[in-house]
Amino acid sequence: MKVDNPTSRDIAELAGVSQATVSRALRNSPLVRDETRERVQKIARDLNYFVNRSAARLRTQQSNTIALLLFDETEGEDAQINPFFLSMLGYISRAASGLGYDVLVSIQQLSDDWHIEYQASNRADGLILLGYGDYTSYREKLAALAEANTRFTIWGPKIGGEPGHSLGCDNVDGGYQATRHLLENGRQRIALLGTTSQRSPELAARYDGYCKALREAGIEPDEQLIVDASSADGEGYRAILELLERGVEFDAVFAVTDVIAIDAMRALEDNGLSVPRDVAVVGFDDVPLAAYVTPPLTTVRQDIRQAAEGLVRGIVGLIEGEPVESSLMAPKLVVRASCGAL
Amino acid sequence: MKVDNPTSRDIAELAGVSQATVSRALRNSPLVRDETRERVQKIARDLNYFVNRSAARLRTQQSNTIALLLFDETEGEDAQINPFFLSMLGYISRAASGLGYDVLVSIQQLSDDWHIEYQASNRADGLILLGYGDYTSYREKLAALAEANTRFTIWGPKIGGEPGHSLGCDNVDGGYQATRHLLENGRQRIALLGTTSQRSPELAARYDGYCKALREAGIEPDEQLIVDASSADGEGYRAILELLERGVEFDAVFAVTDVIAIDAMRALEDNGLSVPRDVAVVGFDDVPLAAYVTPPLTTVRQDIRQAAEGLVRGIVGLIEGEPVESSLMAPKLVVRASCGAL
DNA sequence: CTGAAAGCGCTTACAG
DNA sequence: CTGAAAGCGCTTACAG
């Protein structure tokens, strides 16, 4: 009764049926009589038999696997993946598993060109791309994927004309919510720390939302209040210094990322400005640190779980031939102390 | 010249050789003449051909895939995976990819029992288990894996008698380093916040290291200085209050996790004790927050990358039949301001 | 409801 | 150095 690596043939022999019937019974085919099905399944269980997925894959030409390609921005040996994507991974894995798909994870460098291989080699039925939000750098890669009829979905905003399915955060709405919240709390001179360049479409969209909220309140965005800053170390600090140097008055700051915001808060305090009394601050992303800084940072949060589930639904839809549409998710304002509303 | 989903047969036809020769040429077999190999490979490239991995897997009975099973401690819908394991994932993926293996990721609940299936179904050649450090709860599962001849390696300390390969942090050494550092900086009355229970062997080992350092300095561990505390919210705070209530004198605290340490620092400050002037504090883990609290926390760090690479080497060794031994990695003390040494 | 048969696309011993 | 052939373990049309 002990077989080492049992196959469906072994089960068939023990059950006294054909191998085809075993296959049907294990897949709960309605073509099999109840009694037969149960007998076969019991034997399979007793033998610790599991369907050989390699064989099933070859036969069905499906892998029931999704490849999750994480783009690693840091060239070099030390992989530092954006923690936002890392925490998405947990939810992606669960959602995929719920739909019967395995998840293959790979870290990719900008120079890598293996994307197409995943589907072409039958290792995966489709791809989820994380960290490819900056379409401008990846346009060619994405075009090549589409050219090869690869199914993929991407986390990021759709600018228009890009191939493939995407799911993104409505960054315009996020910037709008942040700015509007400051306005509602009586702030009038709201500085923007970030970028207006289309090189970073996600960040530029947050700026657009900022402008929209201001104009809605009858305020024309003021060049003097806008300072360029990236999320690199010290950029937020430097931006505040520049603002102070300009001698322009301001009573609030909207930073397009939490990293910039936290850095900026330090600069404000160092220069004798109290947050939020003198200057209210709002960030974007809700990084784990945001809740722990002093004062705790008001920020805009993207629902990671919803995003993950949307991406999985998207790629599975593409794989199974259902219609899927690219879409944007509404972010949510998380009010803490730094904006002065508490 | 355009074939939709080319197979090795298509390449063979175009190259005017047999399908077997194509297979050999693509795998760089020395049996193939240089000229032939190059001709075949060029055609494959031109056609965007990739070896069908499903077929290769079935034929070779290998998947060249490692399953990474992350244990999720939070039962329920909201997957909150320990960030330490999440960041390990990046390095595991790279190391595996360097050795020619794909990585399949799955989040598992305690109630799940799919572990065996991964290898039995040919989805993976072996498993890496993360978050299964508390052997006592998993002993049965691990025994079942071993019983089924599943190859696996586990992150955690080996207590003795457990089946399978493991790689862990030398927690005794970590606790020893932390305590010894405090002693060297003149602290004599060092409180321990944590647990001595064998239910948490990793934490208990840190306590053992603490005792070892004290005894080496001629100090007998004092029951009065040892307070039970878990990493749950507020436990570190409560532990300090208990210590103060006992009325026992102390000039330093070694907390077995950073979470406890950070919580404890807050309690100390709230009770008018300055860190590190009155009480020096050392934690364990080097969580991201540790560098950002005030004062920055001195702590013990495990080398995530080294751990990841060790686990991958371990499982690949098992798969490829090389001898592998379970081992412990030495952690490293990261000196910041909270211990008073800076 | 069940079985005999074909075939998915490779890899590799065997023969030359 | 190359080819013909077998076979990995399934799933599924086809026939009854």
Nearest residue, CA→C1' of D9: A55
CA distance A227 to A238: 10
Flag whether B80 is in a domain. yes
pLDDT at B190 over 70: yes
Flag whether A339 is in a domain. no
Q: What CATH code is carried by the domain that includes residue B21?
A: 1.10.260.40
pLDDT at B21 over 70: yes
Judge whether residue B45 contacts strand C, using its CB and a 7 Å cut-off.
no
Q: What CATH code is carried by the domain that includes residue B127?
A: 3.40.50.2300
- Label residue B62 by pLDDT band (50, 70, 90): very high
pLDDT digits (tens, 9 = 90+) for A221-271: 999 999 999 887 788 999 999 999 999 999 999 999 998 999 999 999 999
Q: B163 and B223 in contact (C-beta within 8 Å)?
A: no
Region A292-303 average pLDDT: 91
CA B54 to C1' C9, in angstroms, rounded, equals 8
Chain D nucleotides reached by a protein CB under 7 Å:
1-5, 7-13
Contacts of A123 in chain B (CB under 8 A): 53, 102
Same domain, B218 and B317: no
CA distance B316 to B324: 9
CA distance A294 to A296: 5
The structure tokens 């998405």 sit at: A88
- Label residue A165 by pLDDT band (50, 70, 90): confident
Nearest to A86 among B80, B86, B305 (CB): B86
Flag whether A256 is in a domain. yes
In terms of Cα–Cα distance, which of B234, B301, B223 is closest to B267? B234
Same domain, A159 and A125: yes
Q: How many domains is chain B partitioned into structurally?
A: 3
Same domain, B190 and B296: yes
pLDDT at B135 over 70: no
Flag whether B176 is in a domain. yes
Judge whether residue B107 contacts strand C, using its CB and a 7 Å cut-off.
no
Number of H helices, E strands in chain A: 12, 12
Same domain, B271 and B226: yes
pLDDT at A15 over 70: yes
Same domain, A115 and A175: no
pLDDT the model gives residue B1 = 45
Same domain, A178 and A107: no
pLDDT digits (tens, 9 = 90+) for B26-37: 999 998 899 899
Q: A227 and A245 in contact (C-beta within 8 Å)?
A: no
pLDDT digits (tens, 9 = 90+) for B306-315: 999 999 999 9
Region B13-33 average pLDDT: 92
pLDDT digits (tens, 9 = 90+) for A182-228: 999 999 999 999 987 767 788 899 999 999 999 999 999 999 999 99
The tokens for B171 are 């927690």
Same domain, B200 and B278: yes
CA distance B90 to B110: 24
pLDDT at A2 over 70: no
Q: Which of A50-59, A206-215, B281-290 comes out lowest in average pLDDT?
A: B281-290
Contacting residues 14-43/B vs strand D (CB within 7 A): 16-21, 24, 30-36
Flag whether B58 is in a domain. no
β-strand partners of B202 = none
With vertex at residue B111, the alpha carbon angle to CA B106 and CA B113, rounded to the nearest 5 degrees, is 60
State the burial class of residue A28 (Cβ atoms within 10 Å of its Cβ: 0-12, 13-18, 19+): exposed
Q: A154 and A310 in contact (C-beta within 8 Å)?
A: no
Percent with pLDDT over 70 in chain A: 92
pLDDT digits (tens, 9 = 90+) for B91-110: 999 999 999 999 999 988 76
B295: number of Cβ within 10 Å:
17
Flag whether A338 is in a domain. no
pLDDT at B283 over 80: yes
pLDDT digits (tens, 9 = 90+) for B231-274: 877 889 999 999 999 999 999 999 999 989 999 999 999 999 99
Identify residue B200 by its one-letter amino acid code.
S
Region A30-44 average pLDDT: 91
What's the mean pLDDT when you consider all of chain B?
89
Residue B30: which nucleotide is closest by CA–C1'? Answer: D1
Region B59-86 average pLDDT: 79
pLDDT the model gives residue B163 = 66
Comparing B288 with B199, which gets the higher pLDDT? B288
pLDDT digits (tens, 9 = 90+) for B147-180: 888 999 998 877 666 667 889 899 999 999 999 9
pLDDT the model gives residue A182 = 97
B258: number of Cβ within 10 Å:
24
Same domain, B158 and B186: no
Interface test mutation site (partner A, options B105, B115, B149, B303, max chain A beta carbons within 10 A): B105
CA B29 to C1' C12, in angstroms, rounded, equals 12
Region A12-34 average pLDDT: 92
| DSSP characters over B107-170 | EE-TT---HHHHHHTTS-SEEEEES---HHHHHHHHHHHHHTT--EEEES---SS--SEEEEE-
Judge whether residue B60 contacts strand C, using its CB and a 7 Å cut-off.
yes
Region A122-142 average pLDDT: 84
Determine the straight-line distance between the first and last CA of chain B, rounded to whole angstroms. Answer: 70
Q: B191 and B253 in contact (C-beta within 8 Å)?
A: yes
Contacts of A50 in chain B (CB under 8 A): 116-117, 120-121
- Label residue A3 by pLDDT band (50, 70, 90): low
Q: Which domain holds residue A181?
A: 171-303
Using DSSP, state whether B1 is helix, strand or coil: coil
- Spell out where chain A has E strands: 65-71, 102-108, 126-130, 152-155, 165-169, 190-194, 226-228, 252-255, 280-282, 299-301, 327-329, 332-334
pLDDT at A331 over 70: yes
Same domain, A88 and A155: yes
Same domain, B35 and B106: no
pLDDT the model gives residue B2 = 56
Distance of CA B121 to the CA centre of its chain: 25
Judge whether residue B60 contacts strand D, using its CB and a 7 Å cut-off.
no
pLDDT at B77 over 60: no
- Label residue A157 by pLDDT band (50, 70, 90): confident
Region B121-149 average pLDDT: 84
Same domain, B319 and B295: no
Same domain, A108 and A69: yes
CA distance A90 to A83: 11
- Label residue A1 by pLDDT band (50, 70, 90): very low
Flag whether A159 is in a domain. yes
Half-sphere exposure of B76 (CA within 13 A, CB side): 5
Q: Which of A288-297, B11-20, B40-49, B301-310 comes out lowest in average pLDDT?
A: A288-297
H/E stretch holding A57 reads helix A53-60
With vertex at residue B314, the alpha carbon angle to CA B310 and CA B317, rounded to the nearest 5 degrees, is 135
Flag whether B85 is in a domain. yes
What's the mean pLDDT when you consider all of chain A?
89
pLDDT at B83 over 80: no
Using DSSP, state whether A2 is helix, strand or coil: coil
Q: B90 and B96 in contact (C-beta within 8 Å)?
A: no
- Label residue A78 by pLDDT band (50, 70, 90): low
